[in-house]
Structure formats: structure tokens, C-alpha cells
Structure 1
Amino acid sequence: MSLFSGLDSVTIVGYFLRLGQLLSTCVAFSLVAVEDTLREGIGNWCFIIWCFCFSASLLILLIELCIFRSHLPQYWDGFRHAYAYYFTFACLSASIIFGITYIQYLPQGPVQNHAITATAFSAMASVLYALEVAWVCVRPGNVHRFMPTFQGVIRRLENVVACVIFGFITNIDLYRHQPALIWCVVVYSICFILGAVGYFVNGCDYDNDRRLSIPYPGFLVGQTVLSILLYTTAVVLWPLYQFDENFGGQPQWSNDISCSSDLPPTLCFWNQRLAVAILTAMNLLAYVADSAYMALVSLR
């Protein structure tokens, strides 16, 4: 039987979105791969993001081509919605950070042209992933139409913020000199892993169908409470050891030699420290909102 038998317009639209995602991410990382100047620091992080998005999208496309729609698990729409949601923000973040870091500060020539083109295709990829997020929810003919729950959106946000934090802490010079800061990096990693596991335990947020129940509610509660406790330590320790002189921090932007006006702002260590501090506080608030929502639902 042909792999393309039984395709309808809904399925074809999904495949076209996936092919567009593959093309745009492939162009982005290919242009960076041929220029050693763009493969340093932030550029290397963006390169990894585009490679990962391309590989994951290709794997999902192959799965959908080789397995009939009726044989896919019931939570497949939730999985598609989640991965497209994450990749939307990943490619958007890579576009902004890569563009700010390289385009303005490179001399005119082939390298700058490659940076501009890679940024444009990364932005295109983020738009295509965002379209898939909307398409999963509104596509016609979906009997069990997927709609993300409030808690599902919060949990996606927690993991997205963690991914952005990882982008900044790829610069190990920010924390390798202090055990307390290394602990913060451990906190980010543990909470991200637990959040990803918890999301799949919950059936990829396919709990909008009330006939289904959460398999392990105790795990989700424990994961959220533990994440709040861990992030509370990071909210205190990260700013304390980064900005307090008594703990070896750098309180003023002007005293950081990496923050020269001749360099991109994304390469300034002080800006990176501040960004991680803000994102840590944001994620703590997201976990608190998650916990409050679970408490409200249990009371009802």
C-alpha cells in the first residue's frame, strides 16, 4: 500500500508545514556551518537549536509517513502541539539573539550576508511552527479536537523558559568559579528533566478529554513542589553570587570589561547574568501558579 494513500487536504497541509520547517531550519544551520566566524559562543548555541529542530521535525515526519493516522496514539496531537510550541520559541529566540550578536557587528561581505539569511530563515521557521500550533487546535475533521489546558500551557512555559536559560549558561564562565552557582545550574537541569517527564506522564496534556485521567497525579504534585523549592534556592543564590561584591559578584555593568560598546550586548557577561536572574524569577512564578492551580482544582 502506498505511503501516501488516503491523504486528505488536512494531512497535506500538515505535511507542507513540516517540509517548510525542515527547509528553513536546514538553511539556517547550513549557512552557519560553513562560516567558522559564526560558530562561536552564542552562534554555536543557535546552530545546535536549528540542528535539533531539523532532526526532530524530520523524525516526526517519517513517523507520520510510515504509520497510518488511525494507528497513532491518542495523545499524538498533544505531542505535536507541544513540540511545535517549544520550537516556535526556540527558533524565535535563536533569531533574535543571533541577529543581535552578529548582523550589526560584522563587516559587509559574505559572512554578514550568511548571518542575515540564517536569521531570516530561523524567523520563518518560528512562524511555521507557530502555524502548526494553531493548526493542531483548529484543523477540521478532528473528532477529539485537542485544546491545551491552562496547566498544560503553564508547564510548556516552564520548559520554554528553562531552555532559554540553558542558552545563556552555555557560557560556563558565568558560574564555574562558584559552587553555589554550579548548584543553580543543577537546579535548572533537574527541574527541566522532571518537567519533561511530567508532561509525558500526563499524556502530553491530553486531559482536555475528561474521560481520561492523569496516570500519576502524585508525581506531578511532587515534581511541582520540588521545583518550587529548588528554584527558590536559585532565585536567592544566583543574584547573590553574581551581583554582590561580598560574594565575588559584579554589581555594576560599567565595571565588566566584556561589556564594551564595540561588542554585541549578548556577549556581555553582566547582561547574561541579569537575564538568567530574571528568567529564574519568572520560572519560579510559573511553578507557583502551577501549584496554585492544582490546589484550586483539588478543592473543587
Structure 2
Amino acid sequence: MVTLDFRTLTVPVGIVRILEMILTCITFSLVASVGRGIDSFWTWCMFTWCFCFCVTFLILLLEFTSLSSKLPISWDDFTTAFAMLATLMILAASIIYPIFFACSNCGKQIGATVTSCLAFILYAVEVGLTRAKPGELSGFLSTVSGLLKVLEAFVACIIFICLEPTQYTRFAGLQWCVAVYSICFIFALVVIIFTICRLLSLFPAPFDKILIACNVLAVLMYITAVVIWPLYSFKNNPRPSWCAAGGRLGAVCPWNKLVVISFMTCFNLVAYIVDTFYSFRLVFFVSRT
């Protein structure tokens, strides 16, 4: 039986979600009204805003009708993980869209950029509202370590988007780096899916111990990637002169993508180090006290 819960629309997180829907709707409406040919970057941005709007609407609808409590998943983990993912996706779209499509005399494009940035702020606020507080019982993905898992997976996706087979098939070292990105991404994705679907009990050992072991291994593997990737990528490979061009031409330069991958590798290494610290703290300090 469906029971309407009007309180879900009046609590702070409910109000934030309504504003998120309004801003993402305005953003993709402005961008769609401008019109654009088939373009991967334009498609990515439109997908981001439409995806976030639809999932936020679905979350509000399921909570308003109380159907969320009847789903065989960890609802708190799902909503927190989505809020973190939406924050990262809209942040990326808010950076990519103005770089490629905005100009000084493009009113709608500038307006879409502003509303997208506001939507990013709101999703970041939602992450803060749904994140587990100290001493509060909640799902794994509501903790700092859980949110870091979403961040690590998202950064790995950015790395995969920038990868080109012609760049890493030349050297075994670069292939090792791709293996590092893939293995760590798969584990992060498995943790997220298993947590949301309440399948952590299927792990052959205590989850917290597996988490620590995999995080330590990921740190060691990413340390090698931080050294090996730029070493082989930029060896005898100076930046082409045409890559210095402004606008889209320079942004899609394969050499520039190597720089992005190098930066994201360092970023993910820091994320895994922080994740490992929180995992150790959770197991050896918080659990004992």
C-alpha cells in the first residue's frame, strides 16, 4: 500500500533535492534550446544534467510514496552514493561546457553554466546532509571511506575516457598502469554495488579487513603508476606545437590527455591514501573504543 509522506518534501534534504531538479532542468533546457550538432562533450554534459534530474526525481518520488522502504537495497547507501556521483559529474560538466561551448556573447550558454554550478553546490550540500555523522549508525557508503570509493571510481572513469590505445600499447609499463587503473576501479565498483545490494556478507573474509588489504594494495599499485605513467608517456614525446592552441583544438590534443591522466593518477593516489587512513582508523581505533 502506498503511503504519501509529505515530510520528505519539507525536510532540508528534500528541499535541496527539489532545487537540484529545478536547476538541472533549467540547465539542460537552456543548452537544448541553443542546439548543437553531434558532439561527445556536448552529449556528456546533456547526459549528466538529464541523468541527475531523472534520478533525483525518482528518489523524491520513491520517498514521497514510501516505496523506498520496500526496495531490497540499502536506500541510505544508494542516495548518498548517487549524491556524491552527481556532485562529481556536474562539477565536470560545469567545467567542460563553458570551455567548449560558452563565449562572451552567449547568454544562454553562460546562464546554463551558472545554473550548473549552482546545481553542483546543491549536490555537494546534499552529500554533507546525508553523510554519516560521528556516532551515527549508517551504511558504509555514507561514511568518509564510502564516499571516497565513489570518488576513486569516478576519477578512474575520467582516466579511461582520456586513454587512447595508441598511447599505451607501445610500452609494457604503460599497459601495467592501465591494469592498475582497471583493477582498482573494479574493486571500488564491486564494493559500491555489494554495499547497495546488501551483499557484503558474501565476501569470504570480514569486510573491513578486505577493505584495508585492498586499499594498501591500491596505494602501492598507484605509487608505481604515478612514476611509470609520466616516465614512459613523455619520454621522447615533446608537446606538439598545435596543442598550445586555445579552445577545443588544444583541449582534445592527445598529449594534453596524457597530462590529464598523470594528474588524475596523482589525485587518485591521494584519495587511496586518505581512504586507507580512514579504514585503519575505523578498524583499529573507532571499533575498539
The TM-score normalised by the length of structure 1 is 0.71
Runs of 5+ in structure 1 lacking a partner?
Answer: 205-213
Cα distance, 1:185 vs structure 2: 4.2
For the 8 Å contact 2:156–2:185, the answer to whether it is kept is: yes
- Secondary structure (helix, strand or coil) at the match of 2:97 reads helix
State the partner residue of 2:262: 277
Instruction: Name the aligned partner's letter for residue 130 of structure 2.
Output: V
Aligned pairs (5 A) from 1:3-14? 3-4=3-4, 6-8=5-7, 11=10, 13-14=12-13
TM-aligned CA distance change 1:101 to 1:186, over 3 Å: farther
Whole-angstrom distance in 2 between the partners of 1:286 and 1:71: 34
**What does 1:226-265 align with in structure 2 at a 5 Å threshold?**
226-245=217-236, 249-250=237-238, 252=239, 255-261=240-246, 263=248
Equivalent residues of 2:68, 2:75 under 8 A apart: no
Matched, 1:188 2:187: no
Amino-acid identity (%): 35
- Give CA deviations for 1:10-61 in whole Å, capped at 9, x if unaligned: 6555444323323332343344456564642433332332233233323323
Moved more, 116-125 or 157-166: 157-166
Aligned to 1:288: 273
User: Does 2:257 match 1:266?
Assistant: no
1:151, 1:138 → 2: CA distance? 11
1:143-173 alpha-carbon deviations (Å, 9 max, x no partner): 968895443344344234334434544xx47
SS of the equivalent of 2:6 reads coil
What aligned pairs does 1:122-133 form with structure 2 within 5 A after superposition?
122-133=116-127
Summarize the alignment of residues 80-229 of structure 1 with structure 2, pairs less than 5 Å apart. 80-104=79-103, 108=105, 112-136=106-130, 148-166=142-160, 168-169=162-163, 172=164, 175=167, 178=170, 180=172, 181=174, 184-201=177-194, 216-229=207-220
1:228-262 CA-to-partner distances (Å, cap 9, x unmatched) read 344344323421332111xxx33x4xx34232146
Residue pair 2:243, 2:251 contacting (<8 A) in 1 also: no
TM-score (norm 2): 0.73
Structure-2 separation of matches of 1:38 and 1:221: 47
- Distance (Å, rounded) in 1 between the aligned partners of 2:158 and 2:60: 26
Query: Following the alignment from structure 1 to structure 2, what is the Cα–Cα distance between the partners of residues 11 and 215?
Result: 39
Deviations 1:125-151 (A, max 9, x none): 212212322333599xxx968895443
